[in-house]
Structure 1
Amino acid sequence: MATIVKTPSGSWKAVIRKTGWPTTAKTFRTKRDAQDWARRTEDEMVRGVYIQRSASERMTLEAALKRYLADVTPTKKPSTQKSERHKANTLIEHLGKYSLAALTPELIANFRDTRLNSLGRRGQPISANTVRLELALLGHLYTVAIQEWGLGLTYNPVQNIRKPSPGEGRDRRLSADEEKRLFAVLRQHSNPMLAWIARIALETGMRSSEILTLTRSQVDVKRRVVRLTDTKNNEARLVPLTQAATEVFKQALNNPVRPFDCDLVFFGEPGKDGKRGPYAYTKLWNQAKKQAGLDDFRFHDLRHEAVSRLVEAGLSDQEVATISGHKSMQMLRRYTHLRAEDLVGKLDNITG
């Protein structure tokens, strides 16, 4: 039986001592609450389903996220680490004061709806995909807390709510005139690497992170291939090069200002530690596209354009996926739909 005692402060403390279980105690405002808790807890012990929840009741979401960022996030890619820190700050702002045990599906659903009806830093509505990714981080935090931290959580509340749909993928194409204007501006920059990086993206469909981390040993201009080892899905692949891409890589590899101790193809200025990282193109890219009148065009749209052109050139879905690194044919769906439009002319020729 549980022991119920009144504390000097006037609250009521329930203490349970049961063979085979650690001594468990909890303090309540009323004696009735203490008795009810003791009865439920003893029943769970008898049935062998009792979980000690004190750790999850003490740990706030803010503390849990800080532990996650310290223990789990460093095992991920640098780009992922940066985005997770940003998402964690948002979760802390809205839910950080709640304990892990106190966060219910209802509270998390309210957070979801609030975010979906909010504006971002630039005055634009928060996208459904942004909220979906924030919930994904929260959900994985609970998974880690349950499976690895042993905090006594009975379930993952994020699994019990609807997740926002990621929505339709971007379908921004680059017209011939836009391409001409864009690269005319890029080539005006004093550092040719800005134009080289954009051209490589458009010719190969590689992601910016894949391009910027390339080392000289990964580029084989004789065989006209690039071997990627650091990819989004952690699967190495060989990317064939067009003649235009090969010429750009030749220029980049023969860059006369390359430091002798730097193996990066596209290198930046030395940091505070004296080491050189990848070329920082983002600010210059944003300025260039604005100057070219392409405010709504993103660097990642170059990858979309490259893959779309591969599809239109007649390559099979499997061949395109081998080049682009997409893990499934479903992920290529928004590119392959363009092929149906190209078939219209062929159908006219048949029926004509």
Structure 2
Amino acid sequence: MVLVETDRLVGPQTVIHELGLLSRALHHAVERHGVRLPHGAPRLSAQRGEGRALKLPKARDRLLSKTEHEALKIACSLEAPDDGKAYAGLRTARRPELWLALVFAGTTSARQSELCNLRWRDVSEESILFRDTKNGSDRLIPIWGDVRQILAQLPTKRPAEARVFGYTPGGLRQAFRRARERAGLENFRFHDLRHCAATELASKLGGDPFLLRQVTGHKTLAAANRYVNDRSRDILAALDKPR
């Protein structure tokens, strides 16, 4: 177990997870290795003033409207075309990789770290391999039509070790933040693109949480089921469909 000291503020979820990890480590030491603690293995819990337990924040469900989508697309370009059109061509931007990176994340549900770590060696004709993901394992996903179109617009003839989208994590965070500000988007984070993609994928995969997990890399069925449950309109339409 590695503990990393940080001077940044963290949310309730991080506090609860870290205390849970520490608690499990202490119980393991006592029960499995006979380590003696003065008062036994403590039961750690996240408390704030007056003994109130911290609560996990509600899961985010921020999606982009069509208007916001177009505004972000325009903001990802650093220079406007002379004809004033809404950036019909992605290559009018000096860094088309930024918009393509956002579209890729919003299509595949790739995490920011997975997108930045993706190298051309991990992209084949039929699949993409995300290495060392947040869950500690690699994830292989197929390349379908929408993803193939995104990759086809990226510069070709790059070294196998080159980043597919050319961004480091810090560089992508900064570029996304600037584009978001130019687009005037409020309360929208890069991770929300993952939610947008998972919601769309759940519909395309027929609401199958097992298939959804294979693409998105969600660790538990409960996490995947959140997006399946979001399809209430589709379920209602199916139930009301004439026989």
2:203 aligned residue: 312
**Distance of 2:36 and 2:155 partners within structure 1:** 53
Q: 1:252 aligns with which of 139, 143, 154?
A: 154
1:156 has 2:41 as partner = yes
2:122 aligned residue: 218
**Distance of 2:160 and 2:212 partners within structure 1:** 36
1:285 aligned residue: 176
1:327 has 2:226 as partner = no
Q: 1:53-202 alignment to 2 at 5 Å?
A: 72-73=1-2, 84-86=4-6, 89=7, 127-136=11-20, 138-139=22-23, 142=26, 152-159=37-44, 164-188=54-78, 190-202=94-106
Superposition RMSD in Å = 3.2
**Distance of 2:38 and 2:97 partners within structure 1:** 51
1:344 has 2:220 as partner = no
Shift of 1:217: 1.3
Contact 1:266 1:278 in 2 (8 A): no
Contact 1:138 1:158 in 2 (8 A): no
Change in Cα spacing, 1:248 to 1:149, as seen in structure 2 (3 Å) is: farther
Unaligned runs of 5+ in 1: 1-71, 74-80, 91-119, 121-125, 269-276
Count of paired positions: 222
Q: TM-score, normalised by structure 2?
A: 0.75
Unaligned runs of 5+ in 2: 48-52, 79-92
**Distance of 1:196 and 1:148 partners within structure 2:** 51
**Distance of 1:199 and 1:156 partners within structure 2:** 48
Q: Deviations over 1:193-245 (max 9, x none)?
A: 2112111101111111111111111101x22x102221111232221223232
Shift of 1:131: 3.2
Shift of 1:305: 0.6
Contact 2:121 2:161 in 1 (8 A): no
Q: Deviations over 1:230-283 (max 9, x none)?
A: 11112322212232321322333517xx5x595322335xxxxxxxx5672101
SS in 2 for 1:252: coil
Q: TM-score, normalised by structure 1?
A: 0.54
Shift of 1:318: 1.4
Shift of 1:127: 4.3
Shift of 1:346: 3.8
SS in 1 for 2:129: strand
Q: 2:131 aligns with which of 229, 241, 258?
A: 229
* Deviation larger for 203-212 or 229-238: 229-238
Q: Larger C-alpha radius of gyration, 1 or 2?
A: 1
SS in 2 for 1:267: coil
Aligned residues with identical type, % of pairs: 27
